[in-house]
Amino acid sequence: MTNIFVVGLGYVGLPVALEAAHYGNTVYGIDSDISKVNRLNTGESYIEDIENKTISTALNSGNFEALSELPKLESESIILICVPTPLDKNHDPDLSYLLRAVEDVGRVLVKGCLVIVESTVQPGACRNIIVPILEKYSKLTRKDFYFAFSPERIDPSNREYNIKNTPKLVAGLTPEAANKSRDFYSQFVSQVNICDSIEVAETAKLLENSFRLINISFINELSIFCSKFGISINQVIEAAATKPYGFMPFYPSVGVGGHCIPVDPLYLASTARRIGTPIKFIDLANEINRGMPEHFVFRSEEKLGGLQGKKLIVIGVAYKPNVADVRETPVEALIAGLKSKGAQVYWHDDLVKEWNGEKSVALTSDFDLAILATPHDYLDLTKLGNVPVLNTRGSI
């Protein structure tokens, strides 16, 4: 089978690497984090959805090994780049991790290899930025290797959809590259769709999560109305969702987090502004989303008649239930806002355990207010006793 090199062993790269290994490919997982490499090579997982035995099976089969850097490649190797593409401090696209990874791949790239980027990028980035870097560092032309883009569709903790049953998009710089990518993914993905161009695939990925950001932000704004009006937003959503067409339920929260929803739309908005066609819906949705923590600071003040000197516990700091991932979590802004009002703020999350130099505290009755931010399944709120609870997921 073909040698596969997966660069970046996070929530995206590791599942892909293990699936490819399961189907008989020789897979080398590459990550600059030595601790991750060491843990994997001893059969230890650091991702909730992947069990230790899955890694051990891959290791024992001889089909998987983790490395800290790319080795010399051979012709016809397949290289997947699955590194983060976050936002910078100004909330603009940050391709620095991706560009460093692309440079590293370019240095060892040889004729006949297939390079697939799974990292999210703005439209035009693959053709105009990434491929030229590969050419520069490999001293090859784009005719000497195959290049494709296949945006990741990973939803941590989703019990219904996984790599195998989530349709995969692929697009190649050439039809041959697209076909090679389709053939590779078809080993372990039930449906692989080839897009007409790389730019279509890039934009489709951004549309998926812009759609979610806009709708979640709308529901968050509507939840504020429902709270003020004295009705349950969740009951309203439940009633609307009885319509079998033309409606899709979204649910309120303290804001959206993670590596996709609060990030990807801004990659699209950035390109839209650059070419002179700003997408106002994205800008407005982002504004509403980023304002939700402040709203719940205000709600906390209302409940307690002020926050100065009050002892609060925020429950759940991960960006979504049942994961330990705190990337772009809106709970960070919530805690900062509560502290700015003079509150003593503690947090509980047994999945995260340690974060921002602080540790998770136990659920007890020794608080003036509990704010339920991320409802993990394991939580037992009866431990709070009579502490009032502000539920960011739809309380009146």
- Is 148 in a helix, a strand, or coil? strand
The overall longest dimension of the chain from CA atoms, in Å, is 69
Closest CA to 196 of 168, 175, 216, 211: 175
Q: Tell me the pLDDT tens digit for each residue of 55-93.
A: 999 999 999 999 999 999 999 999 999 999 999 989 899
> What's the pLDDT band for 396 if we cut at 50, 70, 90?
low
User: CA 116, CA 6: separation in Å to the nearest integer?
Assistant: 10
pLDDT range class, residue 156, cuts 50, 70, 90? confident
Q: How confident is the model at residue 395 (pLDDT cuts 50, 70, 90)?
A: low
The radius of gyration computed from the CA coordinates of the chain, to the nearest angstrom, equals 23
**Domain boundaries, given as residue ranges, for the chain:** 3-196, 210-391
Distance CA 65, CA 358 (A): 34
| Coil/strand/helix, residue 254 | coil
Q: Tens digit of pLDDT for each residue in 288-309? A: 999 999 999 999 999 999 999 9
Task: Work out the pLDDT band at 228, boundaries 50, 70, 90.
Answer: very high
26, 101 in Cβ contact below 8 A?
A: no
Nearest Cα residue to 269 out of 261, 279, 260, 259: 279
Using DSSP, state whether 7 is helix, strand or coil.
strand
Q: Which residues are catalytic?
A: 260
Q: How far apart are CA 75 and CA 247, in angstroms?
A: 49
Q: What is the pLDDT of residue 2?
A: 80
CATH class of 210-391: alpha beta
Query: What are residue 176's phi and psi, to 5 degrees?
Result: -65, -40
d(CA 215, CA 254): 14
- With a pLDDT cut of 90, the percent of the chain lying above it is 96
Of the candidates 17, 189, 198, the one whose C-alpha atom is nearest the C-alpha of residue 125 is 198
For the chain, what is the mean pLDDT? Answer: 96
- Domains 3-196 and 210-391 equal at CATH topology level: yes
- CATH number for the region 3-196 comes to 3.40.50.720
Mean local confidence (pLDDT), 8-23 = 96
